[in-house]
Amino acid sequence: MTSKSECILPINGILLLNKPQGLSSNAVLQKAKRLFKAKKAGHTGSLDPLATGMLPICFGEATKLCQYLLDADKCYEATGLLGIKTSTADALGDELQRVDDFNVSESELCQVLEQFTGATQQIPSMFSALKHQGKPLYKLARAGITIERKSRDILIDALTLRSFNGQSFEITVSCSKGTYIRNLVEDIGETLGVYAHVTQLHRKHTAGFDREAMYTLDALEAMSDSERLACLLPMERAIPTMPVVVIDPDELLRLQQGKTLDYQAVDIPNGLVRLNLEQGEFVGIGELDSDHILKVKRLLAF
């Protein structure tokens, strides 16, 4: 039974959590939800238990905007180890194959990294959160089941080598959504002919939050309720580049009733727009068609 001091709060906002190593993204989400006493929460893109770093968590009405953060570009720091292929492409998996005697130069490694820069394709790992018939692939993989996966288009904007000692290498990767760094490191090893797997993975940031502070669970636990609430970012930070259309309360009411609005005079291209009231309050997302008719895409609850 929930005590009065543990009452569920109507919290709306985005928390940039610095995920610790060893916990699943969902476990971290549940811990954050309890800390904030939030009624509703969702994360915006799973990180492996091995991985650390930025995991944006949306509370309350911000959960309606999770998809836009899922679609955002990401930046990672990863450490790969040449010579060993594992079942999960990271250090948590079982060793499958090994090459003990190899000699890879830094210039050879850099040449291979260049091959993976730009638009390319990637076959997702069985140890991913993608679903097949409603079940995550990683659960099927743990049961010894392998499903054929189609390759997917990805974009790696930048792939930089930070250090290399002949066996272990550190890279920074700026990439599109849906890019699996474990697969990337494994593919780098395959291309070099010596295998590779990830030993460390850290998400530096999700696009739009590269200058924002992240908070650890330990730091949040040590805060008062008011200090924790001050860590939340406004919901609209999930859609920073979306054009703004200002509406008045009467127009908002029309949209709530399922009606459309004529916005011929607004100099904004057709597509998704952020809806703000005249005082600046964010109230939802709309869509302008080619005739500049505004219809509702998603409204926040009031």
**Nearest C-alpha neighbor of 269 from the set 251, 247, 295, 243:** 243
Q: Is 268 left (phi over 0), alpha (psi -120 to 50) or beta?
A: beta
Any idea what the Cα angle at residue 241 is, between residues 237 and 245, rounded to 5°?
90
Grade residue 133 by pLDDT with cuts at 50, 70 and 90: confident
Give the pLDDT confidence score for residue 2 in this predicted structure. 45
pTM, two decimal places: 0.90
Give the pLDDT confidence score for residue 1 in this predicted structure. 39
Res. 145: pLDDT tops 90: no
- In the chain, pLDDT over 90 holds for what percent of residues? 78
CB 156 within 8 A of CB 174: yes
Give me the phi and psi of 247, to 5 degrees please.
-125, 160
Instruction: Report which of residues 258 and 5 the model is more confident about.
Output: 258
Q: Average pLDDT over the chain, rounded to whole?
A: 91
Domains and CATH numbers, the chain: 10-71+208-237 (3.30.2350.10), 74-203 (3.30.2350.10), 242-299 (2.30.130.10)
Cα gap 244→30, rounded to integer Å: 33
Res. 131: pLDDT tops 80: no
Q: Give tens-digit pLDDT for 73-91.
A: 999 999 999 999 999 999 9
What is the number of H-type helices and E-type strands within the chain? 8, 17
**Average pLDDT of 124-142?**
75
Lowest mean pLDDT of 7-11, 39-43, 245-249, 281-285, name the range.
Answer: 7-11
> Is 48 designated active site?
yes
Give the pLDDT confidence score for residue 144 in this predicted structure. 77
Give the pLDDT confidence score for residue 57 in this predicted structure. 97
Give the pLDDT confidence score for residue 148 in this predicted structure. 80
From 48, 71, 225, 248, the catalytic residue: 48
Place of tokens 């049961």: 143
Q: Give tens-digit pLDDT for 164-198.
A: 999 999 999 999 998 999 999 999 999 999 999 99
Res. 5: pLDDT tops 60: no
Give the pLDDT confidence score for residue 7 in this predicted structure. 65
**Average pLDDT of 68-77?**
94
Cα gap 141→55, rounded to integer Å: 24
